Structure 1
Amino acid sequence: MARFDLTDEEWAIISPLLPVQGRGPDRKDDRKVLNGIFYILRTGAPWRDLPERYGPRATVYNRYVRWGERGVWQGIFEALAQECEDALVFIDASIVKAHRAAAGSKKGNLEEGIGRSRGGRTSKVHAAVDAKGRPLRLAISGGQLHDSQMMDAFLDWEVPPLAIVADKAYGSRKIRQQIADEGALAVIPSKSNARQPIPHDSGLYRQRNIVERFFCKMKDMRRLATRFEKKARNFLSMVQLFAIRCWAN
């Protein structure tokens, strides 16, 4: 077994969630193909450098793209990401620099979630994680977009969390009211220039490092430390694959 391959325990969790084999030709070994995808995710290697032990690189790449387009990776992630009652949810975003091969023009590609910010052509990964640092929801945007503009992706919980913890970027009255409407407590510090600072639970807020550690772990994946995918759908698939591994591990 190679270093980044799925363990038997991880495969036992993921395999029942894969699409059922259709009537067509037998599908190539799913475990081998997934191991090839995870190898690219972890190492950041170009697809053409995929080791032969994972089979034809075209097969591995096509499976990664097509299942992303069909929502397979998202479905597996959502099946594993259990939204627990009375859970704490931590929200934040992290900048990822886009490789020149992905970014296109100097201004980036807003349609594919690549924008222009201080760091150059960048994307943002937005995440909500639970108290154990496991991802519950994910989204991507251009790097120039303010974090608060993606808040709608982290509302409307089937089971409202006990509290939503976020930094000052999410401290607007509108967002606080949205969180209150969810039935959750907003643990968000006020901005330093606020006329009427709103108190927050400092003990809970100190735990926000949980989501920061999630992003540190995410960027151990070379394919997520730098964005190589041109299409937003493919880049989000890589983020979802990392999230799947977080839950299966």
Structure 2
Amino acid sequence: MAKQSLFWLSDEAWAALEPHLPHGQPGKPRVDDRRVISGILHVLKVGCRWRTFPLSTAPQRPSITATTAGPSAASGIASSRRWRQLALCRKSFPSTVPTSRRTAPPKAQKGAWAQAIGTSRGGRTSKIHCLADDRGRPVAFALTPGNIADIRMAIPLLEIARPTKRLIADKAYDADSLRQWLSGAKIKAVIPSSAARRTPYPLDRKAYRRRNVIERLFCKLKNWRRIATRYDRLAANYLSALALVAAISTWI
């Protein structure tokens, strides 16, 4: 397979990414980091198996978690200090549900729930929750089983992305508990009221039009086949791949 047909980090992208890689680690001599990360990104892009990747270009199954900001084992939230520092005033908040394929653990297998795989109308699924700034760049991710309500991860994500001035979200986040929390945190809620409300809350419709930026973000992420469809058994690997793709697609 020719190098031209593989994903390869540009000089500009590598110059931005290389300073954040670990250096001076004990163990075997490191191989070329740029070649390994480019190989990982190629597999994530096309969705091929690790064993089918040309060994002359990258290891057979490199460790994704070793090349990205690792997710928190306690909460399943992946973020970085640099992302929090770059967070801007507006946040958009949707979730997407990738389908888990046969390489992911089945429901009956012990630990499937711990690996963020649940059963919903679409079968075995995982749900990606994302907090993004007003330029459509992800600030924080959370991964849960697909049958978890969107609003469950709203406050945990917002707590690690402060300061925030305004939250733009859809009707799935129209809950009094979230609105009260936002009010206490001095965050303006730009959330349309659900049809069940007898007295709708006022909505800044001009600001709400900006919610499309995160929809476009998920369109970018779903161009990567191993993000649109989950093949990883471990939630940590899938979430780390998501963080790496998001950094390459939006931040660099």
- TM-score norm. by structure 2 comes to 0.88
Q: Does 1:144 align with 2:142?
A: no
Q: Does 1:185 align with 2:185?
A: no
Q: Does 1:100 align with 2:102?
A: yes
Q: Whole-Å Cα distance in 2 between the matches of residues 71 and 157 of structure 1? A: 13
Bigger Cα displacement from structure 2, 48-57 vs 228-237: 48-57
Q: Whole-Å Cα distance in 2 between the matches of residues 101 and 64 of structure 1? A: 16
Q: Whole-Å Cα distance in 2 between the matches of residues 85 and 35 of structure 1? A: 27
Q: Does 1:17 align with 2:20?
A: yes
Could you tell me which amino acid in structure 2 is paired with residue 92 of structure 1? P
Q: Whole-Å Cα distance in 1 between the matches of residues 156 and 205 of structure 2? A: 25
- Equivalence for 1:237: 240
Equivalent residue in structure 1 for 2:90, among 88, 91, 114: 88
Q: Whole-Å Cα distance in 2 between the matches of residues 247 and 102 of structure 1? A: 27
Question: Structure 1: where are the runs of 5+ without partners?
Answer: none
CA deviation string 1:159-189 (max 9, x = no partner): 4222100011111111011112222101001
Question: Structure 2: where are the runs of 5+ without partners?
Answer: none
CA positional deviation for 1:111: 1.3
Could you tell me which amino acid in structure 1 is paired with residue 185 of structure 2? E
For residues 86 and 233 of structure 1, do their structure 2 counterparts lie closer, same or farther at Cα, with a shift above 3 Å needed?
closer
- Equivalence for 2:45: 42
CA deviation string 1:80-105 (max 9, x = no partner): 42445761110110010000221413
Q: Number of aligned pairs?
A: 245
- TM-score norm. by structure 1 comes to 0.89
Task: Report sequence identity in percent.
Answer: 34
For residues 144 and 194 of structure 1, do their structure 2 counterparts lie closer, same or farther at Cα, with a shift above 3 Å needed?
same
- Equivalence for 1:216: 219
- Equivalence for 2:122: 119
Q: Whole-Å Cα distance in 1 between the matches of residues 157 and 212 of structure 2? A: 18
Q: Whole-Å Cα distance in 2 between the matches of residues 159 and 105 of structure 1? A: 36
CA positional deviation for 1:209: 1.1
Could you tell me which amino acid in structure 2 is paired with residue 184 of structure 1? I
Q: CA RMSD in A?
A: 2.6
CA positional deviation for 1:45: 0.7
